[in-house]
Amino acid sequence: MNKLIRITTVPGSMRTLLKGQLRYMSQFYDVVAVSSGGADFGKMLEEQGVRGVKVNMTRKITPIKDFIALCSLIRLFIKEKPDIVHTHTPKAGILGMLAAKIAGVPCRLHTVAGLPLLVASGKKRKLLEFVERLTYACATNVYPNSFNMQKIIVDNGYAKKEKLKVLANGSSNGIDTAFFSREAVSETDVSRHKRSEVFTFVFVGRIVKDKGTNELVHAFQRLKGKHENVRLLLVGPFEKELDPVLPDVEKSILEGDNIEFVGFQNDVRPFMAAADVLVLPSYREGFPNVVMQAGAMGLPCVVTDINGCNEIIIPKENGLIVPPKDEVALYEAMKYAMEHSDEMRQMGERARSLIVKRYEQRVVWEALLGEYQRLLEEEAE
């Protein structure tokens, strides 16, 4: 049986971004999951049903720790002799692809699910661009998880188009539309979070600057000044070290009226089912799972005109699109959604069928499996 090694920087990414995918692939390959240690590592292996190896990697720029991780990966690949190494997330990508090339792994694959460099500037951007180009140079195949992401990579000269391929209709893992459906959530769970006669906007994701949290809270505060029966439900953790929000925004989240902060939740479905509209005013995304999840739950979305979001959302069909970093435009869209609730409800009704048709999880998994098989057959010739 051919051996496949999948790598993410932290185990949480393997649990959420690739949920169920490694277990599926283990029917066809000897799968090994590689990621940093931590509380999530054991849970990730149990959920994915594969064996794993801990290699400590950081999400920051840490040259000494990165070199140690690179050496650990090289030793691992020489020992395991994988046929395929497939990486996700930026740090795992550069370390995994470089180590795989040094170790002589024949099929070196990297999925691009987002480019942090797009919101960087100056020397930091130049460094991140160098790392991105090196990652793609070491890979034999690169898989942007959206068509817009592919265009960005080609337009910026990070890699040649011949090395790139978008699988299925995009997305790294698709959506389990049976799991993400209103019918799969009990009314008891939903009722705990629903507020009658209150229009609820829900945000699901990390509470950080790059997700547009500053603009979201400010726009909501302005909206609340005109409408009392409105609520903002925030589902996700703060990340104060990497990308903190403004102090006034953090205070509003923790102490403000009509803002309900519930932190990280293992199951976001009850919160989505209790809301009227999902809002994701992010500055950058790969192919946002949360927008697909919301659509599968029959929830219309207000998103920014960025990669991924603008492929899932069709304006006035299943949601609204606003420019990124535009607090006024975001406010106007949220105001429109609240004042046109019947129209938004109709958008939500159309949203699920669009997600099922384009992003059902099994379609994405089978497309990736077919790609693995094709590459191994070519390698054997």
pLDDT band at 286 (very low <50, low <70, confident <90, very high): confident
Whether pLDDT at 301 is above 90: yes
- Is the pTM for the entire model greater than 0.75? yes
- Asked if residue 158 and residue 9 are part of one domain, the reply reads yes
Q: What is the pLDDT of residue 377?
A: 96
- Asked if residue 289 and residue 212 are part of one domain, the reply reads yes
- Asked if residue 225 and residue 154 are part of one domain, the reply reads no
Q: What is the pLDDT of residue 228?
A: 85
pLDDT: which is higher, 95 or 239: 95
- Asked if residue 50 and residue 61 are part of one domain, the reply reads yes
pLDDT band at 117 (very low <50, low <70, confident <90, very high): confident
- Asked if residue 208 and residue 84 are part of one domain, the reply reads no
Q: What is the pLDDT of residue 120?
A: 83
SS3 assignment for the chain: CCEEEEECCCHHHHHHCCCCHHHHHCCCCEEEEEECCCHHHHHHHHHHCCEEEECCCCCCCCHHHHHHHHHHHHHHHHHHCCCEEEECCHHHHHHHHHHHHHHCCCEEEEEECCCHHHHCCHHHHHHHHHHHHHHHHHCCEEEECCHHHHHHHHHCCCCCHHHECCCECECCCCECCCCCCHHHCCHHHHHCCCCCCCEEEEEECCECHHHCHHHHHHHHHHHHCCCCCEEEEEECCECCCCCCCCHHHHHHHHHCCCEEEEECCCCCHHHHHCCCEEEECCCCCCCCHHHHHHHHCCCCEEEECCCCHHHHCCECCCEEEECCCCHHHHHHHHHHHHHCHHHHHHHHHHHHHHHHHHHEHHHHHHHHHHHHHHHHHHHHC
| In the chain, % of residues over pLDDT 90 | 88
CATH number at residue 12: 3.40.50.2000
- Asked if residue 107 and residue 72 are part of one domain, the reply reads yes
pLDDT band at 287 (very low <50, low <70, confident <90, very high): confident
- Asked if residue 96 and residue 170 are part of one domain, the reply reads yes
Total tally of structural domains belonging to the chain: 2
pLDDT band at 256 (very low <50, low <70, confident <90, very high): confident
**Across residues 195-220, what is the average pLDDT?**
96
- Asked if residue 365 and residue 350 are part of one domain, the reply reads no
Domain ranges, residue 125: 3-174+361-380
- Asked if residue 153 and residue 121 are part of one domain, the reply reads yes
Q: What is the pLDDT of residue 61?
A: 84
pLDDT band at 39 (very low <50, low <70, confident <90, very high): confident
- Asked if residue 230 and residue 376 are part of one domain, the reply reads no
- Asked if residue 145 and residue 58 are part of one domain, the reply reads yes
- Asked if residue 253 and residue 147 are part of one domain, the reply reads no
Q: What is the pLDDT of residue 332?
A: 98
| In the chain, % of residues over pLDDT 70 | 100
Q: What is the pLDDT of residue 104?
A: 98
